[in-house]
Amino acid sequence: MTKLGGFLITFEGNDGSGKSSIIERTNSWLMGEGLSTLCLREPGGTQIGEQIRQVIHYVRNIDMSRMTEFLLYSASRAQLVEEKIYSALEKGLIVMTDRFVDSSIAYQGYGREVPLDFISYVNSAVTQGIVPDLTLLLDIDPDIGIERRMNSRGEINRMDLQNQAYYRKVHQGYIELAKKDTTGRWRVVDTNKPLEDVWDEVKNQVEAALLASGYLERRGKSSERIV
């Protein structure tokens, strides 16, 4: 869908769904197959984006308005697309991002009730027409996700201060996005199971998408399974 020669995979899901670990494994696997990759995160991924991330996460910014929050995420995304994603896709890389446009729809749209049509308008502008080729929703019960997140890190950021009702709305947003998908890019992976089972499903979904898109053939790889 990127039409730039590369392949864009976005990893979505509530906090605590294990995106970071899965992205690391996916990257190691693809690099082991001789494929060129680039891993990024939102907010962040660039010097400017990382500075924006600090503002968003700073615990004392508790009075940040929902619109300010959304526009800060969008500013980070605009810089990431301009500085990293677009050029990497032009070079034919497999780009993997820990969150992308759908996070704004779920977190700021469903979670904060920022108007969805406004989010769509801004997302369209900042992404320069780029649409993910594959979106993996790492689905987890939001209550379990919160517990995992709080147990896995010592530092608390502003987003960790949200109540459970907020994260349930975010989760519902993701489920609705996947159900309403008309592009065929969404795949829902149940993460309420052992990590190895989650990884096997992710690997199968990524492999199938790369084969179906013709990406492997364009990069001189066999159209057979890439182990």
Q: Is 76 annotated as a binding residue?
A: no
**At residue 13, what is the residue type?**
G
CB atoms within 10 A of CB 14: 27
213 is in an annotated binding site: no
Give the integer Cα–Cα distance in Å for 160 and 157. 5
Strand partners, 138: 189
- What pLDDT sits at residue 227? 43
Buried b (16+ CB within 10 A) or exposed e, 30-56: beeeebebbbbbbbbbbebbeebbebb
pLDDT computed for residue 2 by the predictor: 60
Please list the pLDDT of the chain residue by residue as tens digits (227 residues): 666 899 999 999 998 899 999 999 999 999 999 999 999 999 999 999 999 999 999 999 999 999 999 999 999 999 999 999 999 999 999 999 999 999 999 999 999 999 999 999 999 999 999 999 999 999 999 888 878 777 776 677 888 888 899 999 999 999 999 999 999 999 999 998 899 999 999 999 999 999 999 998 887 664 444 44
Do the annotations mark residue 18 as ligand-binding? yes
Residue 223: predicted pLDDT: 40
Residues for the chain: how many in total? 227
Query: What is the pTM for the complete model shown?
Result: 0.93
Residues 6+ apart with CB under 8 A from 32: none
CA-to-CA distance for 224 and 217, rounded, in angstroms?
10
Q: Where are the beta strands (DSSP E) in 13-150?
A: 37-41, 94-98, 134-139
Homologous superfamily of domain range 7-218: P-loop containing nucleotide triphosphate hydrolases (3.40.50.300)
CA distance 57 to 157: 5
Q: Is 157 marked as binding a ligand?
A: no
Is 109 assigned a ligand-binding role in the annotation?
A: no
What kind and span of H or E run contains 219? none
Known binding residue 14? Answer is: yes
For residue 189, the SS3 value is: strand
Check residue 33 and give its pLDDT: 94
CA distance 30 to 150: 30
Residue 124 annotated as binding site: no
The pLDDT score that the predictor gives to residue 153 is 62
Q: Which residues pair with 8 in a beta bridge?
A: 95
Please give the Cα distance from 2 to 183 (Å, whole number): 12
Instruction: Report whether 111 belongs to an annotated binding site.
Output: no
- pLDDT attached to residue 143: 85
The answer to whether the CB of 102 falls within 8 A of the CB of 174 is yes
Residue 222's pLDDT is: 45
